């Protein structure tokens, strides 16, 4: 076997099941090696951002890394913004980059870039093979590093000549992950003490504290102590809806975020960084919890949040599950759509165990506010603020959970970043319903100006309006192989969702919003 096959066989032996790829000449040995396995599904993206965003979605839902296969520095550069989001989500992900042959590298051929410099801006672990025989071992290391702790990004640079070299039977084994460090007993005791106190308390949660066992434990603690659950604005994954403990999402705008946190005398953090504002808005704080008393951090974003919650629940004797929210869909609205009506219709129709990717920028807020009234489902949010990831995140989620419906609640501004994703959704026959909230503007920027009492002139209008020409989303989607409809009112949206959830495969709904 050549080194390329040793890389693929090592990944296969470690349980890797999917490779999101847009290869070039230097990656062809890896493509030919992928031909020889049926256990790794290869999924083509028409742009590397689709590959990396899909790997993020896959890793968040599956908990294990996907491979990406990217072409030299420019291919990695194209995928970098979504890798930034994946890094913020703590998603396990392994990038394989085919590099120029070792003997060709100093020729400074056209595609030569400083691949490692690019990789280090997002990667936990970056390496370059300098011998063919180490390719398998480095692949195993890349996977181990991607899986360590909560998860991270590994990038392995593989020169073309080394990939073609014979290496014998050189599959490497990925070592089992290190067990997490035990939680700090002092922090657990301090948190328990705060929760037993008189002041209103909140748990500020992120990472694995927001789904599965983590959320169940947090719910038990909330039930036992009356604490409120709050999550990061940009969470990686959140389980919500009927039967799940209600979780308040920290608002995006700083005055709203601060107001929510100020309602609580005690705040216990777990699985998240201490919350900071999204931008440095003039006159607003960077750090919402700075100079506050009554704050204890059980586990940071890289620590064992679930283990810490387990110990805290034990210490509090909190063993009864939270009954969770009732299934309480809002009344179906009628007439012309706005963000609130759209949210109500979606909550009403959302199938059980759906995965929602609410990456619409302004129009995801109303959905977040009432999502707990829907059937049980999960959400994947934009973690790193790099817009345009939603349609690709949805691809990864759909491949990780083929028996669940995926809904991408997308904006027209951010969705336009990732038109290419629709093609992959069609090619792979993925059960993804895209709802484009077509307000024909970068509304968030217009809102920011309104908050400052500014209106702006011709440049501002040119750079924040998407009116001219209006994007005809249904037509674009059809051209890329995805059927769809345009809806103008709540009734039409309801009909479109009914149809979309009944049929397999991707579907796009352009919802005209003011």
Quick one: 28 or 340, whose CB is closer to a second copy?
28
Quick one: 104 or 248, whose CB is closer to a second copy?
104
Q: How far is the CB of 318 from a second copy (least distance, A)?
A: 32
Quick one: 161 or 352, whose CB is closer to a second copy?
161
SS3 category, 314: helix
Quick one: 60 or 137, whose CB is closer to a second copy?
60
- Which of 348, 344, 382, 364 is CA-nearest to residue 436? 364
Q: How far is the CB of 303 from a second copy (least distance, A)?
A: 17
For position 60 contacting a second copy by CB under 8 A, the verdict is no
Residue 151, CB-side half-sphere exposure with 13 Å CA sphere: 26
Quick one: 23 or 59, whose CB is closer to a second copy?
23
The contact mask relative to a second copy for 176-215 (x = CB under 8 A, - = no) is: ----------------------------------------
For position 287 contacting a second copy by CB under 8 A, the verdict is yes
469 cis-preceded (ω within 30 degrees of 0):
yes
Place of tokens 């070039």: 24
| Span 294-353, contacts to a second copy by CB under 8 A | none
Q: How far is the CB of 121 from a second copy (least distance, A)?
A: 5
Quick one: 198 or 458, whose CB is closer to a second copy?
458
- Which of 271, 273, 260 is CA-nearest to residue 200? 260
For position 434 contacting a second copy by CB under 8 A, the verdict is no
Quick one: 45 or 494, whose CB is closer to a second copy?
45
| Strand duo 238-240 + 377-379: pairing | antiparallel
The contact mask relative to a second copy for 89-108 (x = CB under 8 A, - = no) is: -----------xx-xxx-xx
For position 137 contacting a second copy by CB under 8 A, the verdict is no
Which of 351-366 are b and which e, b meaning 16 or more Cβ less than 10 Å from the residue's Cβ? beebbbbbbbbbbbbb
Q: How far is the CB of 353 from a second copy (least distance, A)?
A: 28
User: Around Cβ 39, how many Cβ atoms within 10 Å?
Assistant: 13
For position 1 contacting a second copy by CB under 8 A, the verdict is no
Among 64, 68, 78, 141, binds a second copy (CB under 8 A): 78
Residue 125 has φ and ψ, to the nearest 5°, of: -140, 130
Q: Is 462 exposed, middle or buried (0-12, 13-18, 19+ CB in 10 A)?
A: exposed
For position 53 contacting a second copy by CB under 8 A, the verdict is no
Q: How far apart are CA 372 and CA 243, in angstroms?
A: 9
The contact mask relative to a second copy for 251-280 (x = CB under 8 A, - = no) is: ----------------------x--xxxxx
Is residue 212 within 8 Å of residue 239, measured between CB atoms? yes
Q: How far is the CB of 47 from a second copy (least distance, A)?
A: 5
Q: How far is the CB of 147 from a second copy (least distance, A)?
A: 23
Choices 217-225, 236-244, 281-289, 313-321 (CB under 8 A): range interacting with a second copy? 281-289
Quick one: 66 or 480, whose CB is closer to a second copy?
480
- State both tokens at 409: 């609640």
Choices 199-207, 303-311, 333-341, 411-419 (CB under 8 A): range interacting with a second copy? 411-419
Among 13, 246, 445, 489, binds a second copy (CB under 8 A): 445
* DSSP state letter for 2: B
Q: Give 127's strand partners.
A: 156
Quick one: 128 or 478, whose CB is closer to a second copy?
478
Contacts of 151 (CB under 8 A, 6+ apart): 59, 63, 65, 89, 90, 91, 92, 93
For position 436 contacting a second copy by CB under 8 A, the verdict is no
Number of residues located near a second copy, criterion CB under 8 A:
98
CA triple 268-362-480, angle to 5 deg: 120
| Span 476-495, contacts to a second copy by CB under 8 A | 476-481
Quick one: 268 or 419, whose CB is closer to a second copy?
419
State the helix-helix crossing angle for 185-196 and 212-225, rounded to 10 degrees.
40
Choices 53-61, 147-155, 206-214, 380-388 (CB under 8 A): range interacting with a second copy? 380-388
Among 1, 17, 63, 111, binds a second copy (CB under 8 A): 111
Among 59, 234, 269, 333, binds a second copy (CB under 8 A): 234
DSSP per residue over 267-285, as a string?
EEEESSPPPB-SS--TTS-
Q: How far is the CB of 259 from a second copy (least distance, A)?
A: 19
Dihedral of the CA atoms 121, 126, 132, 136 (nearest 10)? Answer: -130
Strands (E), 189-273: 201-205, 228-231, 238-240, 247-249, 266-270
Place of tokens 């769809």: 484
């Amino acid at each position: 076997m050549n080194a390329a096959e040793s890389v693929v066989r090592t990944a296969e032996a470690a349980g890797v099941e999917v490779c999101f790829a847009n290869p070039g000449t230097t990656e062809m040995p890896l493509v030919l090696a992928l031909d020889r396995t049926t256990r790794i599904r290869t999924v083509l993206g028409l742009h590397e951002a689709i590959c990396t965003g899909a790997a993020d979605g896959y890793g968040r839902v599956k908990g294990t890394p996907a491979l990406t296969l990217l072409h030299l520095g420019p291919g990695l550069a194209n995928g970098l913004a979504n890798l930034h989001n994946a890094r913020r989500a703590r998603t396990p992900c392994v990038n394989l980059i085919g590099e120029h042959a070792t003997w060709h590298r100093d020729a400074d051929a056209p595609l030569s870039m400083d691949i490692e410099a690019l990789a280090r801006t997002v990667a936990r672990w970056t390496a370059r093979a300098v011998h063919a025989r180490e390719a398998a071992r480095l692949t195993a290391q890349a996977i181990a590093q991607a899986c360590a702790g909560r998860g991270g990004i590994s990038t392995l640079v593989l020169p073309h000549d080394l990939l073609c070299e014979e290496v014998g039977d050189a599959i490497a084994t990925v070592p089992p992950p290190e067990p997490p460090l035990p939680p700090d007993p002092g922090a657990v005791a301090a948190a328990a003490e705060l929760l037993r106190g008189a002041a209103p308390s909140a748990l500020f949660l992120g990472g694995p504290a927001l789904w599965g066992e983590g959320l169940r434990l947090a719910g038990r603690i909330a039930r036992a102590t009356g604490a409120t659950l709050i999550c990061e604005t940009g969470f990686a994954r959140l389980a919500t809806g009927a039967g799940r403990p209600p979780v308040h999402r920290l608002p995006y705008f700083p005055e709203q975020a601060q107001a929510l946190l100020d309602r609580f005398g005690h705040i216990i953090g777990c699985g998240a960084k201490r919350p900071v504002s999204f931008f440095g808005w003039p006159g607003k704080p960077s750090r919402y919890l700075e100079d506050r008393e009554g704050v204890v951090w059980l586990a940071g974003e890289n620590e064992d949040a679930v283990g810490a919650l387990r110990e805290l629940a034990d210490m509090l004797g909190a063993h009864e599950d939270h009954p969770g929210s009732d299934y309480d869909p809002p009344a179906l609205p009628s007439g012309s759509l706005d963000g609130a009506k759209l949210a109500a219709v979606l909550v009403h129709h959302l199938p059980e165990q759906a995965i929602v990717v609410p990456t619409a920028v302004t129009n995801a807020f109303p959905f977040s506010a009432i999502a707990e009234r829907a059937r049980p489902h999960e959400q994947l949010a934009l973690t790193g603020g790099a817009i345009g990831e939603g349609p690709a995140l949805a691809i990864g989620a759909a491949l990780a959970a083929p028996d669940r419906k995926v809904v991408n609640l997308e904006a027209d501004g951010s969705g336009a970043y990732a038109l290419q994703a629709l093609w992959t959704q069609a090619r792979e026959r993925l059960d993804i319903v895209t709802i484009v909230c077509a307000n024909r503007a970068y509304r968030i920027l217009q809102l920011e100006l309104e908050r400052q009492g500014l209106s702006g002139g011709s440049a501002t209008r040119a750079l924040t309006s998407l009116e001219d020409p209006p994007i005809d989303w249904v037509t674009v989607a059809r051209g890329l192989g995805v059927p769809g409809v345009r809806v103008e009112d709540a009734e039409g949206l309801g009909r479109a969702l009914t149809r979309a959830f009944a049929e397999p495969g991707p579907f796009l709904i352009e919802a005209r919003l003011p």
